[in-house]
Amino acid sequence: MAEIKLAAEVRTEFGKGASRAIRRENKVPGVIYGHGAEPVHVTLPGHELLLALRTANVLLSLDVDGKTELAIPKAVQRDAIKGYLVHVDLLTVKRGEKVTVEVAVETEGDLAPGSFLVENVLNTLSVETEATHIPTSVTVSIAGLEGGDAIHAKDVPLPAGTTLVTDPDAVVIQILAAQAEEPAAESAEAEGAEA
């Protein structure tokens, strides 16, 4: 995964009024914390940050007063109606450091012939991986599976250097046989016979 470079300005004014003023300038207030250091309150470029956050678990290279910090998003707050960024919490990381993140589960392949439904029981898996090599997703093959089959977390192939944190026996994908409805005429006859 590539690093996305952003310029961050240290901010000294806090509160709702200051945050609103920052957002009016198309910027986003944020906090960088981690590794036992004091939290640093920053202002980030709004549009560039919004584009960067489209990638799950994006690695940000932040230029803060001439010093480069690597960080990953920990909490992102958006406006409920308009969707713009309200605030972002960033966690500092170091090269080679292991972090625990949620990774999306994607499926590929075709089921066995028949009427089956794919139920995604877990949409994400918790994994531990190096901060500079966070996978954007993991892919599971459902090719040839039939009703009643299930894929557990331990069966999901993970990239090298990534270990599973989620319970290995947790069901990730379950294949269900589609339920067929009885024709209305047959059910009416059955009710009449019972009466």
CATH number of the domain within which 77 lies: 2.40.240.10
pLDDT tens, position by position, 7-50: 888 887 777 888 878 788 888 888 888 877 888 888 888 888 88
Q: CB under 8 Å to 97, separation ≥6 — which residues?
A: 130, 131
Mean pLDDT computed over every residue of the chain: 82
pTM of the model: 0.65
Counting the structural domains of the chain, the total is 2
Burial state string for 113-136 with b = 16 or more CB within 10 A and e = fewer than 16 = eeebeeeeebebbebebebbebbe
The secondary structure element, H or E, covering residue 76 is strand 67-78
* Residues 14 and 87 reside in one and the same domain: yes
Is the pLDDT at 92 greater than 60? The verdict is yes
Which pLDDT value is given to residue 188?
Answer: 54
Which pLDDT value is given to residue 87?
Answer: 86
Residue 31 lies in a domain: yes
Q: Find the CATH number of the domain harbouring 160.
A: 2.170.120.20
Residue 64 lies in a domain: yes
pLDDT tens, position by position, 147-179: 888 889 898 888 888 888 888 898 988 888 877
* Percent helix, strand and coil across the chain, each to the nearest 5: 15, 45, 35
* Residues 87 and 168 reside in one and the same domain: no
Is the pLDDT at 119 greater than 60? The verdict is yes
- State in Å, rounded, how far the first CA of the chain is from the last one: 68
Which pLDDT value is given to residue 26?
Answer: 86
Residue 18 lies in a domain: yes
Radius of gyration (C-alpha) of the chain in whole angstroms: 24
Residue 194 lies in a domain: no
The angle subtended at Cα 54 by Cα 42 and Cα 128, nearest 5°, is: 85
* Residues 109 and 58 reside in one and the same domain: no
